[in-house]
Amino acid sequence: MKKETIIAAGVFFCVGFLTGYVYHAQSSSSNSSAPESQTSVSGVSPQAQEQPSAFAAGTSDEAPEAQSRDPRLQALPPGHPSVDLDSTVKLFEDQAAARPGDPRPRLELANLLYDHKQFEQAVPWYQKALELDPRNLSARTDLGTCYFNLGRADEALREYRKSLEIDPRHQPTLYNMVLVNLEGTHNLAAARQAWEQLHGLNPQYPGLDRLKQNLETAESSR
Q: What is the DSSP letter of 187?
A: -
Residue 66's nearest CA partner among 144, 133, 121 is 144
Instruction: Identify the CATH number of the domain defined by range 84-134.
Output: 1.25.40.10
* Residue 39 banded pLDDT, cuts 50, 70, 90: very low
Is residue 69 predicted with pLDDT exceeding 90? no
* Cβ atoms 83, 72 nearer than 8 A: yes
The residue among 13 and 184 whose pLDDT is bigger is 184
| pLDDT 10s digits, 128-183 | 999 999 999 999 999 999 999 999 999 999 999 999 999 999 999 999 999 999 99
Q: Give the dihedral sign, CA 161/166/168/170.
A: negative
Helix (H, G, I), strand (E, B) or coil at 44: strand
pTM for the model: 0.65
Is residue 218 predicted with pLDDT exceeding 60? yes
Beta-carbon contacts of 110 under 8 Å, excluding residues fewer than 6 positions away, are: 122, 123, 125, 126, 129, 139, 142, 143
Most confident residue range from 40-44, 66-70, 86-90, 214-218:
214-218
- Pairwise CA distance, residues 131 & 50, whole Å: 33
* Cβ atoms 59, 109 nearer than 8 A: no
All CATH 1.25.40.10 domain ranges of the chain, comma separated, are: 84-134
Residue 211's nearest CA partner among 199, 200, 221 is 199
Instruction: Identify the CATH number of the domain defined by range 154-221.
Output: 1.25.40
Other C-beta atoms closer than 10 Å to the C-beta of 105 total 24
Is residue 73 predicted with pLDDT exceeding 80? no
